Amino acid sequence: MRDGPHIAGIASLIGEPARAEMLSALLADRALTATELATIAGVGKATASSHLAKLRAAGLLAVQDQGRHRYFRLADRDVAQLLESLMGVAFRTGALRLRAGPREPALRRARVCYDHLAGELGVQAFEALLARGLFEADATGLRITPAGLAWFAALGVDVAAVSAQRRMMCKACLDWSERRHHLAGAWGAALLQRLFALGWVRRIAGTRVLQFTPPGERAFEAALAVPVMAERAVTQFVSS
């Protein structure tokens, strides 16, 4: 007797090239119309509608009607995490696009992973937060420390509002391009939103790419400044 959920159906849905392109585009945590998704996937509107109906029926997409338009987005964070993990496996095994896009280096440098910061800068930020003792990891998972709460408050984050959210507070998310972890969960989302509010970073329109301003990147690095003696905590986490 076979146990557990049946994954073949979901895998076949995601594995179809046009649907994979649509889902990847929605990883930027923004809603898109069927017409926009058809253009991204390189298919006609009728074909796109058929793909979207299948993805919605499988619970991978949610839809919202606004006026004459219907906007599609990923159903939840679990779907986003699944897609990011698949990208990591594809990257590690060499299943890359035949032609890298002009934004590929920028995408690896800093990008949106659903609602939090990913890429090289996201990994560096998470490792700095660990090294400073602002987050702790053990066999039970990841948690923010009192020092972490104070750090977020000093950055201008509404700590009480974030703590009151009914979602996973913090999670180490494996970064597909770095093969190390960045910070996800409520605190990861709060950090990225605060970076937007401070004007330190902006999203490149129509992409997942995040671009830090030179002053913003310097300020972010200063806020994350890590004592040299604290590097051991990062090494322990990454190797675990």
pLDDT tens-digit profile of 102-127?
457 887 889 888 888 988 999 999 99
Of 23-37, 87-101, 209-223, where does mean pLDDT reach its minimum? Answer: 87-101
Tallying the residues shown for the chain, one arrives at 240
Residue where the block lists tokens 């004007």: 199
Residue 234 and residue 128 share a domain: yes
- Torsion of Cα atoms, 76 then 78 then 27 then 177, to 10°: 160
- What CATH number corresponds to the domain at position 27? 1.10.10.10
Instruction: Answer yes or no: is 170 within a domain.
Output: yes
For 6-35, b/e burial (b = at least 16 CB within 10 A) is eeeeeeebbeeebbbbbbbbbbbbebbebe
Residue where the block lists tokens 């053990």: 138
Residue 156 and residue 117 share a domain: yes
Residue that wins the pLDDT comparison between 95 and 184: 184
3-state secondary structure of 60: coil
Judge whether residue 2 has pLDDT over 80. Answer: no
Instruction: Answer yes or no: is 38 within a domain.
Output: yes
Tell me the mean pLDDT in the region 147-151: 95
Instruction: Answer yes or no: is 201 within a domain.
Output: yes
Q: What are residue 113's phi and psi, to 5 degrees?
A: -110, 90
Q: 38 is in which domain, residue-wise?
A: 8-75
Instruction: Answer yes or no: is 3 within a domain.
Output: no
Residue 56 and residue 171 share a domain: no
Read off the pLDDT band of 94 (50, 70, 90): low
Residue that wins the pLDDT comparison between 198 and 84: 198
Judge whether residue 59 has pLDDT over 70. Answer: yes
Residue 197 and residue 124 share a domain: yes
Instruction: Answer yes or no: is 94 within a domain.
Output: no
Residue 40 and residue 149 share a domain: no
Residue 14 and residue 60 share a domain: yes
